[in-house]
Structure formats: structure tokens, C-alpha cells
Amino acid sequence: MQFLFIWGSNVYWQCLPMSRWYDPLIPKALIPGVDVRVNSRHASLCVLCRGGRGLCGKAVCPIELKAKAYLRVKGFGPISTSLEGSSPPSVFVGRFGYPYVNAGPMVPPVFGETGVMDCPESWLAESVDSIVNYRYSLVRGSARLAIDSARRGGRLVEALQELSMGTSPAGAAIEFLKKPAGTVSFDDNSQPFGPSAPLKSFDISSVKVDHRIENAYYDTDLRAGEAVTWLYDSGLRVSQLQKAFSMGVFGVQKNRRLVPTRWSITAVDSIISGKLIGEVKGFETVDKYLVYARSHQYNTFAAVLMPQKWSFEWMEAWFPGTFWNLGGPQVAVEGDYEGYSGRKTYPGIGGCYFSTRLAVAEHLRSLRRQASALVVREIRPEFPLPLGVWFVRENVREMLRKPPAVFDDLGACLSHLKGRLRVPVQRWIGESTMLRDHLLQRRMDDYLRLKGAG
């Protein structure tokens, strides 16, 4: 076995003999004849570090995390061209090649209570190691499907749709066209995904379908957005709705489509938060400045709710050495904003915008208040690897469950945040649309009051 260390498209080290670091991780006898391709943005450091010296600044080595998770799957037994296990339940729809996509089930090679393997709402207290293990335990089968097959049906599509409506682990049997093996890539800049292979056949048994989702499926005149918001209000988890949405379970029959999983996650967050914001706008504003903060897994989150009509801003600060700011010498800060009327374009900062907006709108509805909401996130270089937008949504939800610090003015809020955030407050002000507008408005109000007094 050999290792290839790669930086982008440049091969820095070819045919590198297996180091002592990887000997216990990937024994030759376990996956004979398979090259392990290590795609690392820190290639030269990886060769020196071998996972034990922390030269990249991460709390744990992301390559080692994924290697151990892959071996854990191998530890369940050899995976051949057939596999049986309990799907959490879980499905995946890829986005490459759209309007033709790769879709299929995700099944671990074990039976039992596997629901936690695809339930992000329950992962917040888990270690990064555990989350990576869950993701690598799910073996993916994929078949090339046209997106309109969601309405045209077919045995495979209908089985996947049934699985996506499931509420508990379901027995599954998969036949692959080839073994889910080959070149194994541990890329320190990719989210964790398990082995995959082209699908030959797929059977499921004993799927316990949520009757509310099933009702929406058979209501072919119900719009997808209406179905999603109704089911959310009925108590379904966001992740459940995202799975069913991706398999084209909702919507007017002629419009049903398969939706890539990444897009379905953002779509559901956007639909639900949009509906909640409509409700929130009917409430009075908060009467004080409310400040929330939370630190978790080398990330710091903070939110300020201001006593004004609805507006929202999400900002992220990527420290040097994070996967979002590998080469920069300074902290990179970026954000997106919407006013009372919302926004018409997709935020450049990505899907975390909508996952955060959902968490904020949920909280304001629970308070029966509206506010201008600024939420920021600082990502430190120790954070080992991207985990998905669920990580942001669940952290912001958890942060907003805690009692806030309460202040009479924005200046006191910002002074309070100086002790919680590493990026200087002046930098946040300089990059934030909301803070600049709010401070300018305050100065104008002060001027008008002084002028009136004179």
C-alpha cells in the first residue's frame, strides 16, 4: 500500500511508503491492493506531522478521523456486492449532472437501532469522532435517475420515497454492480461520507411510514411549501422533511421532482423560516437589546436581538488555518443581510444563512416578538472539518434556549460581546450592514433630539 499526498492538482509526494502513523490505522491485510489517497491542503505538514504533532493547528487530525471511521465500517465485516442492514432511514440525492442525478439508499452493514446515524438534531452533544463514524457507517447505493422520475414512479423510486417517509430504522437489502471499494480518498476539506457504489437492486421491508407525510404524498394538489410548513407545525423534525422533500414526495403531481440533498436542506430551511417570519412580523418588537452567546467545538456563536422591526443578518469569521481561510494571513469576515421585505437573491454565504434564519424565527415566535436579529459565528483553526449546515442550525437553536443578557442600548451590547468574541467589535461593525445602519440611525436620532432641545 502507498500514500499519495496531494495539494490541489499538484502531487507533492508520490508513492510515499506507509508511515508508522498509518500502520495501525490501515493495515495492508484489511484492504489489500487499495491505494489510500490522502488529499491534504497541508501536504508538506502532514508528512512531518503524521497525525500526532498537530502542526496544522487542528484539535484532531481530520485525515486520521476519517481513516479510523472507514476502518470501523470495515470492522463490521467485508462489504461485497451485497449488503444488508437497517437504514436509519436515509436516502441521498446527488447534484452533479442535473437534471439527471445519482440517487439511492444509505444503509449501514448492521441491524438494530441505527436512527441516530442520520438524525442531526441529536448530534449536538456528540463528539466529532462520533459524527464522522455515523456518516462513514452509511454505505450509499446510487442509480442514475431523471429528476421527473419522482412523479413518473418506478419500483426503485417508489421504494426510495417510502424509505424517505420512514420514522424508524427499516430493514434493507442492496445489490451493487461492484463492490463499494476502490481508491479511498480521505480529503481534509470534505464533509464525511461513507463508501458508495452503483446500485443494481434495492429492497426494503417493514417501513413504518409517518402517516402525516403519507397524507401529503397522496394529496397531489397540495403545494410543496404548504406541505412542508403544515408538517413542521405538526411536529416533524426538519431533517425528516428534508429527506422527503429530496425524493419529490411533496407538491402538485405534475411538478414533483427529485431534489439534490444539498438543495433540499436549504429549501426546507428557507420555506419554514419564511413562513415563521410572516407570523413574527405580526408581533410587537422586543423592548430591550437581548444578547446570546455560545461556544462549542472551537466555534463561537453570538446573537443580538434589537428592538426594531424584522431584519436579519448572518456573518461568519474564518480564522487563518480554517478550511475556509487556508491561505489568508488575517481573519476573513463575510455576511449577508435582509431587510423587512426579505431578499430575492441567494446569499453568497451559503445555506447556513437559512439554517440560522430558521433558528432565529423559531425563537422569536416562541417569544411572540419581532426584532432585528444579528447572528455571528467565529470558526477557529482547531475546528477539524466541515460537518454541514445542521451544525449551525442546532448550535444557534441551543444558544437561543439559554437566558440572554439584557441591555438598554446597543453600545452596552457591543461592550458585552468584547468579552465573548475574538474578532474586534470594530471589525464586525465595519463589515455589518445592520450594525452600521443601526448606529447611523442612532446618531441621527440623537442629532434630532439635540436640535429639538435647542
Percentage of the residues of the chain whose pLDDT score is greater than 90: 64
Would the pLDDT of 377 be above 60? yes
Sign of the CA dihedral with 238 first, then 240, 241, and 242 last:
positive
Q: What does pTM read for this prediction? A: 0.85
Higher confidence at residue 296 or residue 74?
296
Query: Are both 273 and 298 inside the same structural domain?
Result: no
Query: Are both 299 and 239 inside the same structural domain?
Result: no
The answer to whether residue 269 is domain-embedded is yes
Using CA atoms, how far apart are residues 363 and 311, in angstroms rounded to an integer? Answer: 14
Query: What is the model's pLDDT at position 53?
Result: 56
Query: Are both 397 and 297 inside the same structural domain?
Result: yes
Task: Tally the residues of the chain.
Answer: 454
Would the pLDDT of 7 be above 70? no
Using CA atoms, how far apart are residues 307 and 284, in angstroms rounded to an integer? Answer: 9
Domain around 255: 211-280
The answer to whether residue 153 is domain-embedded is no
Query: What is the model's pLDDT at position 364?
Result: 98
Query: Are both 239 and 327 inside the same structural domain?
Result: no
Query: Are both 297 and 431 inside the same structural domain?
Result: yes
Q: How confident is the model at residue 75 (pLDDT cuts 50, 70, 90)?
A: low
Place of cell 467545538: 297
Q: CA distances (Å), 416 to each of 264, 291, 316, 425, in order?
A: 37, 8, 19, 10
Would the pLDDT of 3 be above 80? no
Query: Are both 296 and 276 inside the same structural domain?
Result: no
Average the pLDDT over 247-263 and give the result: 96
Query: Are both 256 and 308 inside the same structural domain?
Result: no
Digit-coded pLDDT (tens) for 89-100? 999 999 999 999
Please give the angle made by the CA atoms of 46, 52 and 56, to the nearest 5 degrees. Answer: 45
The answer to whether residue 385 is domain-embedded is yes
CB neighbour class for 295 (10 Å; exposed up to 12, middle 13-18, buried from 19):
middle
Sign of the CA dihedral with 433 first, then 434, 439, and 440 last:
positive
Report residue 68 as a C-alpha cell.
479510523
Query: What is the model's pLDDT at position 8?
Result: 34
Average pLDDT of the chain is 84
Helix or strand run (H / E) with residue 174: strand 170-176
Average the pLDDT over 415-437 and give the result: 94
Query: What is the model's pLDDT at position 63?
Result: 67
**Burial call 22-54: b when 16+ CB within 10 Å, e when fewer:** beebbeeeebeeeebebbbbbbeebbebebeee
Query: Are both 295 and 440 inside the same structural domain?
Result: yes
Query: What is the model's pLDDT at position 65?
Result: 67
Query: Are both 379 and 313 inside the same structural domain?
Result: yes
Query: What is the model's pLDDT at position 179?
Result: 83
The answer to whether residue 232 is domain-embedded is yes
Percentage of the residues of the chain whose pLDDT score is greater than 70: 77
- Looking at the structure of the chain, the number of domains it has is 3
Would the pLDDT of 328 be above 90? no
Average the pLDDT over 298-305 and give the result: 97
Report residue 429 as a C-alpha cell.
461593525
For residue 239, the tally of other CB atoms under 10 A from its CB is 17
Higher confidence at residue 270 or residue 34?
270
The answer to whether residue 423 is domain-embedded is yes
Query: Are both 304 and 445 inside the same structural domain?
Result: yes
Average the pLDDT over 141-153 and give the result: 94
Report residue 314 as a C-alpha cell.
448572518
Sign of the CA dihedral with 365 first, then 122, 114, and 143 last:
positive
Digit-coded pLDDT (tens) for 17-57? 334 344 444 434 334 434 445 555 555 555 446 555 565 66
Using CA atoms, how far apart are residues 96 and 98, in angstroms rounded to an integer? Answer: 6
The answer to whether residue 71 is domain-embedded is no
Q: Which of 37, 56, 75 is the C-terminal boundary of a domain?
A: 56
Q: Which of 225, 245, 280 is the C-terminal boundary of a domain?
A: 280
Higher confidence at residue 15 or residue 356?
356
Q: How many helices (H) and strands (E) are present in the chain, helices listed first?
A: 14, 16
Would the pLDDT of 452 be above 70? no
Using CA atoms, how far apart are residues 379 and 298, in angstroms rounded to an integer? Answer: 7
Query: Are both 271 and 294 inside the same structural domain?
Result: no
Q: How confident is the model at residue 387 (pLDDT cuts 50, 70, 90)?
A: confident
Digit-coded pLDDT (tens) for 117-140? 999 999 999 988 888 888 888 889
Query: What is the model's pLDDT at position 449?
Result: 53
Would the pLDDT of 73 be above 90? no
The answer to whether residue 188 is domain-embedded is no
Using CA atoms, how far apart are residues 5 and 160, in angstroms rounded to an integer? Answer: 38
Q: How confident is the model at residue 1 (pLDDT cuts 50, 70, 90)?
A: very low
Query: Are both 314 and 441 inside the same structural domain?
Result: yes
Per the CB < 8 A criterion, the answer to whether 374 and 303 are in contact is yes
The answer to whether residue 393 is domain-embedded is yes
Q: Which of 14, 35, 56 is the C-terminal boundary of a domain?
A: 56
